[in-house]
């Protein structure tokens, strides 16, 4: 193997070893929102992000949090995160609803998404949730292929429905 490739692989491995998966704190919120906006651009809907920073922080770290998150931190910078909340099913009980899992573009393909997903699965088991649910855009092949590695079940029967209050 050429020395340049070996050096690159060693640097990539070192970067992966320096990635810390931890619970998000209120101090991570600004960076998390930067990543949310990056995701919105990727998903071709940047205008859809309308939540204020104050509301975002209060919803995760106020008196009655409605979401929780873990972050992937590399060299002191949050490079990815996963945000979830509890969804209740009358058939299945409490389930983890994964609102977002994302890794910033320059860090994709380095195993960070897998580390986040593995930690989410651990959390779901620790909290005795009956399962995990999430959505993925039908054109997002990289995400679909990622979820297939986890033997995720894709459900073609249900239609997304929403009602805006603004």
- On the question of pLDDT at 20 being above 60, the answer is yes
Domain residue limits at 66: 15-148
pLDDT in tens, 44-82: 999 999 999 999 999 999 999 999 999 999 999 999 999
Model's pTM, two decimal places?
Answer: 0.87
Q: State what percent of residues in the chain have pLDDT above 90.
A: 87
Res 16: pLDDT = 52
- CATH number (domain holding residue 30): 3.40.630.30
DSSP state of 26: G
- Report yes or no on 153 lying in a domain: no
pLDDT in tens, 112-141: 999 999 999 999 999 999 999 999 999 999
| Number of domains the chain contains | 1
- Report yes or no on 164 lying in a domain: no
- Report yes or no on 1 lying in a domain: no
Gyration radius of the chain's alpha carbons: 17
- Report yes or no on 10 lying in a domain: no
Residue 42 bears catalytic tag: no
Res 11: pLDDT = 44
Catalytic residue among 42, 84, 85, 147: 147
Picking from 6, 21, 1, the residue whose alpha carbon sits closest to that of residue 101 is 21
- Report yes or no on 20 lying in a domain: yes
d(C-alpha 162, C-alpha 33), whole Å = 22
């Amino acid at each position: 193997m050429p020395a340049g490739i070996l050096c690159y692989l060693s640097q990539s491995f070192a970067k992966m070893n320096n990635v810390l998966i931890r619970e998000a704190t209120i101090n991570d919120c600004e960076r998390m929102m930067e990543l949310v906006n990056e995701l919105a651009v990727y998903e071709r809907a940047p205008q859809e992000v309308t939540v204020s920073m104050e509301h975002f922080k209060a919803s995760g770290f106020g008196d009655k949090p409605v979401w929780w998150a873990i972050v992937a931190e590399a060299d002191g910078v949050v490079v990815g995160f996963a945000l979830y909340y509890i969804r209740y099913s009358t058939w299945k009980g409490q389930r983890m609803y994964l609102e977002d899992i994302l890794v910033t573009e320059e860090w994709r393909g380095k195993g960070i998404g897998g580390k986040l997903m593995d930690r989410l699965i651990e959390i779901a088991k620790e909290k005795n949730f009956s399962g995990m649910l999430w959505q993925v855009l039908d054109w997002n092949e990289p995400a679909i292929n990622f979820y297939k590695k986890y033997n995720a079940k894709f459900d073609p029967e249900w239609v997304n429905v929403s009602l805006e209050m603004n």
